[in-house]
């Protein structure tokens, strides 16, 4: 078996031993692609609803796919938010409260995606998959780390102190 030192691209996600290289290829490169797509669409005159649709479909979909498979580096959430709001509000001072843009249209919002909430929900989506997986091969590594603390069922159904979670790896 040959061990590769260069990153391997599997289904659009780069994997390697180098954490900084992973972050560069999976997050920073996709941020640059997001910025170029938003720059291309910024010259066209679109409504706020159209801009939100462009942000959701062309902009953050690739970042969400990477975030569903890998941990999100620090600072990515803030930079995505600033890029999206600069595109949405045309680099002017905010005239609309940002938290109001996340609401449904019947409540006066634009149904904009809250990236912080999205990243948290992607992390939490792992729990039901692991509980229903049984003894599948893909969940042996997380099971190993959860078993050190009593298992996933114990952690979900007991009252516990959060300070013991510092020993878990970052992807969990």
> Which pTM does this prediction carry?
0.74
Which of 74-83, 118-127, 137-146 is the least confident region? 137-146
- CB neighbours (10 Å) of residue 112? 21
Report the Cα 105 to chain-centroid distance in Å: 24
CB 108 within 8 A of CB 100: yes
Task: Give the model confidence (pLDDT) of 12-26 as tens digits.
Answer: 888 888 888 888 888
Task: Give the model confidence (pLDDT) of 37-54 as tens digits.
Answer: 999 998 888 888 899 899
Question: What pLDDT score does 35 carry?
Answer: 92
Report the Cα 159 to chain-centroid distance in Å: 28
* pLDDT at 98 > cutoff 80: no
Question: What's the mean pLDDT when you consider all of the chain?
Answer: 82
Which of 37-41, 51-55, 107-111, 153-157 is the least confident region? 153-157
């Amino acid at each position: 078996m040959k061990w590769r030192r260069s990153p391997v691209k599997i289904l659009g996600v780069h994997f390697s031993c180098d954490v900084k290289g992973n972050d560069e290829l999976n997050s920073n490169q996709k941020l640059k692609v997001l910025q170029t797509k938003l720059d291309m669409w910024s010259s066209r005159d679109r409504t706020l609803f159209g801009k939100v649709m462009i942000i959701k479909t062309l902009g953050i979909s690739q970042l969400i796919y990477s975030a569903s498979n890998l941990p999100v580096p620090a600072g990515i959430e803030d930079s995505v938010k600033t890029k999206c709001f600069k595109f949405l509000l045309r680099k002017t001072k905010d005239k609309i409260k940002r938290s109001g843009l996340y609401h449904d249209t019947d409540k006066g919002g634009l149904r904009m995606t809250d990236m912080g909430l999205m990243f948290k929900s992607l992390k939490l989506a792992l729990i039901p998959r692991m509980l229903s997986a049984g003894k599948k091969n893909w969940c042996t590594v997380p099971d190993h780390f959860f078993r050190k603390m009593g298992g996933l069922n114990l952690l979900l159904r007991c009252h516990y102190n959060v300070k013991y979670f510092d020993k878990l790896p970052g992807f969990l």
